[in-house]
Structure 1
Amino acid sequence: MDSMRGCKRLGSCFVPSRRLLLNEKLRITHRHQSLGFTLVELLVVILIIAILLALLLPAVQATREAARRAQCSDHLKQVGLAILLFHDNYRHLPPIRLPCHHGTLFTELWPFLEQGSVDQQWDPKLAYHFQPDVNIRAQVPVYYCPTRRGAGGSREGYNLSAAPCDARRRVPHRAGALGDYAGVVGDSDIPWDYIDRKPMPVGPIIGSLAKPPCGGSDPNYLFNGYKSHTRLRSILDGTSNTVFVGEKHIPIGTFGMTSGLDCSIYNADNLQIVGRFAGPGFPLAYGPKTPTNYIFGSWHPNICQFVFGDGGVRPITVSIDTTILGYLANRHDGFAIPSNAY
C-alpha cells in the first residue's frame, strides 16, 4: 500500500506483473545455465586437445628419430667413403690402431674428412699421450651418432674422456675426444688385433706391423711407418658382404668412462675403444641398457647401422643370428649373406 501511495504522489509508477517477474527469473536462470554449458564444453575441448597431443607426440618423436637415424647413416657413409679414399691413396686399408698404440683408424681418416689441419699437427711417431691438445680434443661431428650425443661443446663425461683407457699404462690421463663408431676386427677375439701372430684376425680393419717392431713399453717409443695386411682385394667375400665400421655399444650412464669402453677414439691403448668383434659370443646390444660393453650396438630402436666395404650403409636388426653376424664380420669365410637375412 505504501508503494501505491508513493506512486500516486509521483504521478506514475511501474509495477511489474507476476508474469514479467517470472520471465525475468527464467532469463537469469537460462543465462546461468548457458555459462555452465560453456565451461563443460571448454573442458571437453581441452580433453580433446590433450588426447590429440598424446597421439601426436609419438609421431613427432618418431619423425625426429628418423631424422637422427638418417644423419647417423650419413656419418657412417662419410666414414666409409674416407676409408675408400684412404685405400685409393695408400693402396691398403687403414689399421684399427697404429703400431705401439700411437694412433687409430680415426686419426688416419682425418685428411679424408676435411680435418687436414688437425692431421698436420699430429706426429705419428708419438703416442697419444704426447700429442697437442688440439689433436686429442679435436671434435669431428661425423664420428658421433646424433641419437646418442653430438660433437657440440666439449666436456668430460659427454664427448671427452673422463678416465684412462688402460690403467696399466703408467702415464697421466689426458682427456680426448670420444666417438660412437668402431672398426670391425673380426668375428672372434682370438686372435686379437696383433697381425704378427698366426692366424691373423679375420676382419677387414685390423692391426698393423711397425717398422721396426715396437720395443718395450716406453709410451714415447718412436717408429718409422707401419705395414698394413689388408687391402680391398683381401675382402674375398666381397665388399658388399663385409661390414667395415659400425655403431659401437656404450651402456647408458658410462659416457667417457673406462667401464663403458668409451675413451678417446684417438687413443690406441685399448683395442675395444676403436674396434669391436661381431659374431658368436659377440651379439648386437638390444638397447642402451645392455650391460655388455665390448660389442656393437646403437641407441636406435631395434637396429644397429653398419657401413659395408662398398660404402653402403645398412641397418642390421639387433636380433640377428650371431652366426650370420659373424659371416658379415669375416672378410674371407666364403659366405655371402643376402641383405634379407638381416
Structure 2
Amino acid sequence: MSHHRPRRGFTLIELLVVIAIIGVLIALLLPAVQAAREAARRAQCVNNLKQLGIAMHNYHDVNGTFPPGRKGCCWGTWNIFILPFIEQTAAFNAWNSYGNNVSGPDGTHRYFGVVNRTVANMAISTLLCPSDSGTNSSNPVTATMGNVKYECRFRNYVVNMGNTNIGQMNFPAASSTPQIIFLGAPFYDMGSPNIDIPPPSTYYPGRNTRNLVGVAAITDGTSNTLMLSEVIIAQGSDLRGFTQWGDATGFMSNTGPNSTTPDMSDWCNNQPPNPPCVFLSGGFNGNDKFYAARSKHPGGVN
C-alpha cells in the first residue's frame, strides 16, 4: 500500500498569480509613496520660505529696512545680508562686500575671489528646495562666461522685484533726459559700495536706487505683498538660480508662476531640462531681463 506525501509549494500558475498580485500592489502603492515624499519635500520648501521670511523681518528689526536685493552688481545680495539671521553668522563675517575692483587677480569677479569663494560655495539647506534635484544645487559649478571664471553654488529662493523688467527705463539709454528705473518692489539695487557720489549713480547711468524699503513704505500692507518665491535651478552656462549674481536674486511678476512665456536673460541656456528662455545681448533697455517664479512641485510654485 503506497502513501502519497502532501504536496508542498506553489505550482507555476500559482506562483505567477502571486507575482501578478504583488506587481499590482506595488503599482498601486508606488504613486502614493511618491506623493507622500513630494508632500514632505513641499512642506520642507514651505518651511524654508517661512524661515527666510522670519530672517527678513529680523533683519528689518535690526536695521530698520529690508535688505537690498543686491548691492550693486558684484558685492553681495540679500542672501548674504540675511546670513546672520539663519544661523550663518560665521559665513557672514567671512564675506568681504566692499571694494571698487570688480575682478580679482585670478580673473574672477570679486564674489568668487579667494576671499569669498568659501562662502559663495557653501551648501546652505535653507536656501535649497528639496524638490529641485538639479546638479547645480548639490555641487559647485565652474563656468567660463566672457573670459571670466565663475565658481558658484546655486539657490532656489528669490525675492519679489515687481512687475517690471530688470533695469527697465522710461527713456531710451541714448536719451539726454535723466533716466528713471522702475523699481516696482522693495528688493532691488542699493547701488555700488565705495562710490561716494550723489545719485545718479555712475554704475548704471541715471540710476538712483540707494533708498532701502521698510515696512512703513509698503502701503498695501505686508500681508498683501509677496516677499519670496522660488525658481528652478538651471543647468550649464545659465545663471538662473545663481543668486550671488545680482540679476538672478529675484523674480518678476510680468508673467505668472511656471509661465510658458520664456524668461529673458543674457546668461541662459534654452535646452532641456532648463526652463524656457530667450537669450538677450546688449545693455539695459526697456525690453530687458525678467525671470518668472518657477518650481518642480506638481501643485505649483510656493
Same fold by TM-score, threshold 0.5 exceeded? Answer: yes
What are the Cα deviations for residues 64-92 of structure 1, in whole angstroms up to 9, with x where unaligned? 00000000111111111111111111101
Counterpart of 2:132 in structure 1 is: 148
Aligned length: 250
Match of 1:162, SS state, is strand
Counterpart-to-counterpart distance in 2, 1:190 and 1:110: 25
Counterpart-to-counterpart distance in 1, 2:8 and 2:73: 82
Counterpart of 1:62 in structure 2 is: 35
Distance 1:159 1:180, change over 3 A: farther
Counterpart-to-counterpart distance in 2, 1:289 and 1:117: 33
Counterpart of 1:201 in structure 2 is: 183
Counterpart of 2:252 in structure 1 is: 277
Q: Is the 8 A contact 1:185 1:203 kept in 2?
A: yes
Computing the radius of gyration from Cα coordinates, the structure with the larger value is 1
Distance 1:302 1:289, change over 3 A: farther
Question: Within 5 A, what are the aligned runs for 1:1-342?
Answer: 38-126=11-99, 127-130=110-113, 131-149=115-133, 158-163=138-143, 167=145, 172-189=148-165, 191-192=167-168, 198=180, 200-210=182-192, 212-213=196-197, 227-250=210-233, 254-255=234-235, 257-259=236-238, 261-263=240-242, 265-268=243-246, 271=247, 273-279=248-254, 282-285=255-258, 290-292=275-277, 294-305=291-302
Counterpart-to-counterpart distance in 2, 1:70 and 1:290: 23
Structure with greater helix percent: 1
Q: CA deviation at 1:94?
A: 0.7
Q: CA deviation at 1:244?
A: 0.9
What are the Cα deviations for residues 249-299 of structure 1, in whole angstroms up to 9, with x where unaligned? 34xxx43x3335243x2233xx1x2112013xx222269664238211100
Where does structure 1 lack aligned partners over 5 or more consecutive residues?
1-19, 218-225, 306-342
Counterpart of 1:336 in structure 2 is: none
Q: Is the 8 A contact 1:156 1:175 kept in 2?
A: no
Percent same amino acid among aligned pairs?
Answer: 30
Match of 1:183, SS state, is strand
Match of 2:151, SS state, is coil
Q: Considering only aligned residues, what root-mean-square deviation do their CA atoms show, in Å?
A: 3.1
Q: CA deviation at 1:145?
A: 0.2
Q: TM-score, normalised by structure 2?
A: 0.72
Match of 2:277, SS state, is coil
Counterpart-to-counterpart distance in 1, 2:137 and 2:47: 25
Q: TM-score, normalised by structure 1?
A: 0.64
